Structure 1
Amino acid sequence: MFIVMIRTSILYTIVVISMRLMGKRQIGELEPFELVIAIMISDLASLPMQNLSTPLIYGIISIFTLLAFQTFITIFELKSITFRKIISGTPNILIQNGKIDIKELRNQRLTFNDLMEELRIKGFYNISDIAYAVLETNGELSIMPKSEMNSVTKKDLNIQTQNEKLPIALILDGKINHDNLQIINKNVNWLNNKLKANNIYDTNTVFIAMLDSQNKFFFQLKE
Structure 2
Amino acid sequence: MAELTLYIANKNYSSWSFRPWIAFTARGVPFREVLVPFDFPNGNPRIKEISPSGKVPLLRHGDLSVWESLAIVEYAAELFPEAGLWPEDPAARAVARSVSAEMVAGFGALRNACPMNMRRRKGAIPLQEGVAADVARIEEIWHERLARSGGPFLFGDFSAADAMFAPVVNRFEIYDLVRHETTLAYMAAMKAHPAWKTWEEAALAEPWIVPEDEA
TM-score by length of 2: 0.26
- Structure whose residues are more often strand by fraction: 1
Structure (1 or 2) with the larger CA radius of gyration = 1
TM-score by length of 1: 0.25
